[in-house]
Amino acid sequence: TPVCQQYQLHSSPAAYTPDCSETSLASLNKAREAHQADLIIGVGGGKALDAAKLLAHQNQLPVVTIPTSAATCAAWTALSNIYTEAGAFQYDVGLTRCPDLLILDYDLIQTAPKRTLVAGIGDAIAKWYEASVSSGNATATLTIAAVQQARILRDILLQKSATALENPGSEDWREVVDASVLLAGVIGGLGGAQCRTVAAHAVHNGLTHLPAAHDTLHGEKVAYGILVQLRLEEMVQGNQLATTARGQLLQFYKTIGLPKNLNDLGVGNITLAELQQAATVACNPQSDIHHLPFPVTVEQLMAAMVSTTVDTVKEQAMVDS
């Protein structure tokens, strides 16, 4: 590029394909060695940025992230997810620091499909529903600050997302992009281990093991996962607040186009065995689902996964009786 030429910087492009996997990372490391790179620049979506961050982390190099959509907060988090070459989630890696520089170009973000921002909203709004559970009764100042930021993030998204999506490039649109990419990333940095992901991301991880779910975006799976988490809180705890929250989210999802059930995710025709496979992955011993304040069985999770749109008014009546 002209800027690189101006400062006599020599770049060498490399792709993370087929996925942000151990094999791809090994290939990228070879490319880094051949180029003798002293800086990693990640350009693209969440997986490209995760690969760039992890490559930099493994080699103790600075990293710059340039997101091409607002579909995730990967550009600003100290975390990378590793998948199989087929796209199934394997594990995540905590990094020692956030990216050294994030370049958020609104004009570039605006060229991405509308669906990517909708997915980013789904991924970001999960911060409240997960952090408010995983933080428990934490008293650490930064944890409390992170949870409150997550609440503010939720409110911004609930209030401004519909208008933002109708008016790309507007002030509301920029605020929603900032919330989805920047504020969502900051919450993870502030809260750290005390503001972990919980059931919503665990459900996402389970769904990645189903080939039929690979056509949906990360944030779309996570958004559906929030409903599953709330459903678990209703079913296992009899939590009335969870019922109310699910009703609010169902209306919000309908307005902006987030998936409310398996059918909306394009996996309404999966077999019972496939549903069980996804639930089993989501309930594995290392899963974040165990940050819920109650144990969850595979059978309970399966029941929650197929009942995300059950009538909230009837559920409330059953709880009250």
List residues with catalytic annotation: 123, 201, 204, 218
Whether 276 contacts 284, CB under 8 Å: no
Q: What's the order of all strands across the beta sheet hosting 101-102?
A: 40-44, 63-67, 101-102
Whether 200 contacts 140, CB under 8 Å: no
> Is the peptide bond prior to 18 cis by the omega test (within 30 degrees of 0)?
yes
CA distance 1 to 271: 50
